[in-house]
Amino acid sequence: MITALLASIFNIHHLLPILISQYGAWVYVGLFAVIFIETGLVVFPFLPGDSLLFLSGSLAAMASHPLNHLVLIGLLSLAAIAGDSVNFEIGHRFGHRLTSPRWQRVIKPQHLASAQRFFKKHGNSAIFLGRFMPIIRTLIPFTAGVSKMPYRKFILYNILGGVAWVAIAILSGYFFGNIPVVQAHFELIMIAIVVVSILPAAIATLVKNRKGPNLNA
């Protein structure tokens, strides 16, 4: 059953149009749930948020589907912001228990270590930059909670990152998702989205490394 569920999730570009044809606007509820779960529950870093947002945007551009790109941006931004806030609270209240060896089967130590290094390297901006990186996206708010980051600082970067991630992904799908070459190579485009999503963090790292010697001079 779990295998079938995962197969359906990762075959979303075929599944989502079928769900829309069957349930219409109720699909908004499902989209909200997936984005909220990916960002809000630390044990679900594998959900394909980038692909889902891009695909939703491309379907919203088609007259035959009831999705609206502006509604998607507003609703799913709210889901992403709420999800990160819940994840932060989980890390803040239960982080030390969930990072114990007992939970290593569901919260991979190597993934958590990567998020911790990312957070340590980028500081508060990691909340924003982490939005654009699969797996890291789910673990960064949890790590921020564990580290006792002040919530007032966290929520600012949470809002900025959530809105930016959702808007960029959905609008990319809305304007480019229905180009024939994109439709013909959808799987490759999804991989490209993942690669491009890493660029903000990579650029920030390069800028920080270049500024480092100058500050020490």
Give the tens place of pLDDT for each residue, 156-190.
999 999 999 999 999 988 888 777 766 666 556 66
Among residues 41, 207, 196, the alpha carbon closest in space to that of 121 is found at 207
Q: Which range among 110-114, 146-150, 206-210 has the greatest average pLDDT?
A: 146-150
Among residues 9, 91, 102, the alpha carbon closest in space to that of 47 is found at 9
C-alpha distances out from residue 182 to 20, 54, 134, 188, Å: 21, 11, 21, 9
Name the amino acid, one letter, at 186: F
When pLDDT is averaged across residues 45-71 and rounded to a whole number, the result is 85
Structural domain spans, the chain: 2-209
Name the residue with tokens 């924003």. Answer: 128
Please enumerate in sequence order all residues whose Cβ is within 8 A of that of 70, keeping only pairs 6 or more positions apart, or say none.
Answer: none
Residue 199 has a pLDDT of: 60
Among residues 60, 4, 31, 48, the alpha carbon closest in space to that of 176 is found at 60
Beta carbons of 134 and 184 less than 8 angstroms apart: no
Name the amino acid, one letter, at 55: L
Percent of the chain with pLDDT over 70: 72
Q: Which residue has the higher pLDDT, 212 or 146?
A: 146
Residue 197 has a pLDDT of: 57
